[in-house]
Amino acid sequence: MTYRIRNVVVAVGLALLAMMLTLFYVTNYKRSVQRDASSVQVYVAAKDVQAGTAGTDLVKRKDMKVESVPRSAVVPGAISNPDQLGNLVLSAPLYEGEQVSLRRFDDAAAQGIRAQLKGTMRAVEVPGDPNQLLAGTLAAGDHVDLVANLRTGTDSTASTTRIVLRDLTVLTAPSDSTLSKASSDGNSTSAILAVSDTQVQRLFFVLKNGDWTLELRPVVDATDSRERLETLDTVLREGR
């Protein structure tokens, strides 16, 4: 093979290689365009949803709906199944028509107390001595009643006792460090309770005007007896 023929063969080979590479690129580009143009189903907000909403509530209230969008328009973190929101809470507002993305949610546990408050529920820190707050026994997630002893007139000896609030959720119990400090220096400790926006008025009144204590409710099958008032007369007369 002469030098000239060899150069021709090399040139033809390079041309074929270039043609094959070009054909391969064009084919892949067409496939990519077709893939991006295809429609996929995504979840979008059916209405405006405020931050702090639990992912499970979005599902229960049907605040999401399915829509088809081009694959290229799918946002990062877009959910493919509502079950992905099970333990999450919305960290920023979600607006109607916006795709539901995991990037807009935080772990519910990371939200702490805020994640446990919904609707009319409020968190109130209740200061008291270790006995009133069942310190050392009380734990977050427990349910308690508030028992109050209130004066019924100007005579400080006339008073009435009753359960004024029932089934309050304990959000934060007295910690071991706070308890030991309270025991050593005689100071009070505290617990955080979940109450409604109207229950808080009764709670605050008792804290400011009477003696009180918390009582721990059963974990399973808790029931309530008939409401009653206790005075000096009822205690001496009934004896039980």
pLDDT at 177 (0 to 100): 45
Confidence tier at 20 by pLDDT (50, 70, 90): confident
- Give the residue with greater pLDDT, 126 vs 235: 126
Q: Are 105 and 91 in contact (CB under 8 A)?
A: yes
Angle at 204 between CA 198 and CA 205, to 5 degrees: 100
**Domains in the chain with CATH codes:** 39-112 (3.90.1210.10), 117-238 (no CATH)
Tens digit of pLDDT for each residue in 99-157?
Answer: 999 888 887 666 677 777 778 888 999 999 999 999 989 998 899 999 999 887 766 67
Distance CA 147, CA 131 (A): 13
Q: Are 126 and 212 in contact (CB under 8 A)?
A: no
Q: Are 113 and 195 in contact (CB under 8 A)?
A: no
Distance CA 41, CA 140 (A): 41
- Give the residue with greater pLDDT, 209 vs 188: 209
Residues ≥6 apart with Cβ < 8 Å to 219: 142
Whether the predicted model's global pTM rises above the 0.75 cut: no
Tens digit of pLDDT for each residue in 204-222?
Answer: 999 998 899 999 998 888 8
Backbone angles phi, psi at 66, to 5 degrees: -95, 135
CA separation, residue 205 to residues 76, 115, 148, 173 (Å): 51, 27, 10, 21
- Alpha-carbon torsion, ordered 55, 168, 171, 180, to 10 deg: -170
Strands 39-45 and 64-70: antiparallel
DSSP state of 38: S
pLDDT at 29 (0 to 100): 61
Tens digit of pLDDT for each residue in 161-179?
Answer: 999 999 999 989 987 545 5
Q: Are 42 and 67 in contact (CB under 8 A)?
A: yes
Strand partners, 90: 105
pLDDT at 156 (0 to 100): 66
